[in-house]
Amino acid sequence: MKLKLESVPQTAVAAIEGKLDASGMRFAIVVARFNAFITERLLLSACDGLLRTGAAKKDIAVVRVPGAFEIPSAARTLASTGNYDAIICIGCLLRGDTAHYDVIVNEVTRGVGQSSQETGVPHSFGVLTCDTLAQAIDRAGLKMGNKGFEAALAAVEMVSVKAAISSQPSAVRKGKTRAGKKIPRRVTKTRRSRS
């Protein structure tokens, strides 16, 4: 039986994509101490991912917080400084017998997303939300890869994507529409109120 080799398919539309090159970028990693058996493995792999993509050790800051609930607050504070190109959030939440897990998962997820949106600084989500300790171990380097490493790569790529999007020329900024027609300037006259 002969195998038929095909060429790599072309995309229909050119896409803006990031690169996995962290050279010259600065990162903050917020890591929860709770469930340190897991979070330390995630942290080490996140640092490994950053270094492998070209980040310098001096450009990586690690901030430790008590638990996952405190991650969004620290991430927001770090993003607001303007000193970091991306924030990597690392934690581990394990389901228990009460609704506490669901409340914390929702708040951490919402808080990290809100911080990223409001500050404009990319945040990557390396917070494990697992039903069992075995699932967490698998995601911290055993069977399912390492989510800390993946979060680091996502952060690097998002910084690059943000830069690529920001450098795109805009027809609107030049006073033209997409069709190339000039946008007329609107002159608004102020009316004086009659008292």
Provide the β-strand partners of residue 156: none
Assess contact for 126 and 148: CB atoms under 8 A: yes
Assess contact for 189 and 84: CB atoms under 8 A: no
**133/94 Cα distance (integer angstroms):** 7
Distances (CA, A) of 32 to 35, 37, 48, 136: 8, 11, 18, 14
**34/81 Cα distance (integer angstroms):** 26
Catalytic residue (one of 100, 110, 176, 181): 100
100 flagged as catalytic: yes
**167/72 Cα distance (integer angstroms):** 29
**72/46 Cα distance (integer angstroms):** 18
Q: Which residues are catalytic?
A: 100
